[in-house]
């Protein structure tokens, strides 16, 4: 993961549900008049990745297995606050199936069903230091002990 597209977590029910926020700004290099749908999806996937890892006590690395479906009925724009709500619909030792909804002021801007799979530690790539720092800050905001991240 090169870019962290989550600004803040609002809630984390380990292995069940995660709620997060992405504030869209014009200062981001990939934002024009509208926030790209692919980045709405990526924000949902990143929220789902934290949710899936929380179910295992953050003991495993997660990657995207597949996106089953994704729809984007409306756009987000600079100045919008995208609320991300992801729920685990099925969890197994191999991974977690998630459903996520992204909204702006109650209006759906993205929905997706996707699978997050777990990698054994020996197959996990080395973390990017900048992303790791941002991830630690997000986890601290959720009061998750850093040794679990």
**Token pair belonging to 28:** 């981001």
pLDDT for the residue numbered 104? 97
State pLDDT tens for residues 29-88: 777 788 899 999 999 999 999 999 888 777 777 889 999 999 999 999 999 999 999 999
Report pTM.
0.83
The per-residue DSSP string of 37-67 comes to HHHHHHHHHHHHHHHHHHHTTT-SEEEEEEE
State pLDDT tens for residues 94-110: 899 999 999 999 999 99
Burial string for 14-48 (b: 16+ CB within 10 Å, else e) reads bbebbbbebebeeeeeebeeebebebbbbbbbbbb
pLDDT for the residue numbered 144? 57
What domains can you pick out in the chain, each with its CATH number?
8-144 (3.10.129.10)
């Amino acid at each position: 993961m090169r870019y962290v597209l989550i600004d803040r977590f609002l809630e984390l029910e380990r292995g069940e549900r995660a709620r997060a926020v992405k504030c869209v700004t014009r200062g981001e290099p990939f934002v024009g008049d509208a926030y790209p749908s692919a980045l709405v999806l990526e924000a949902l996937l990143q929220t789902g990745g934290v949710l899936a890892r929380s179910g295992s006590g953050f003991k495993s690395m997660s990657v995207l297995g597949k996106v089953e479906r994704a729809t984007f009925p409306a756009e987000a724009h600079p100045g919008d606050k995208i609320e991300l709500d992801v729920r685990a619909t099925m969890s197994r030792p191999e991974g977690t199936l998630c459903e996520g909804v992204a909204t702006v002021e109650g209006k759906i801007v993205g929905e997706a069903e996707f699978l997050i799979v777990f990698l054994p530690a020996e197959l996990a790539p080395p973390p990017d230091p900048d992303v790791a720092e941002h991830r630690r800050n997000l986890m601290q905001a959720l009061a998750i002990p850093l040794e679990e991240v």
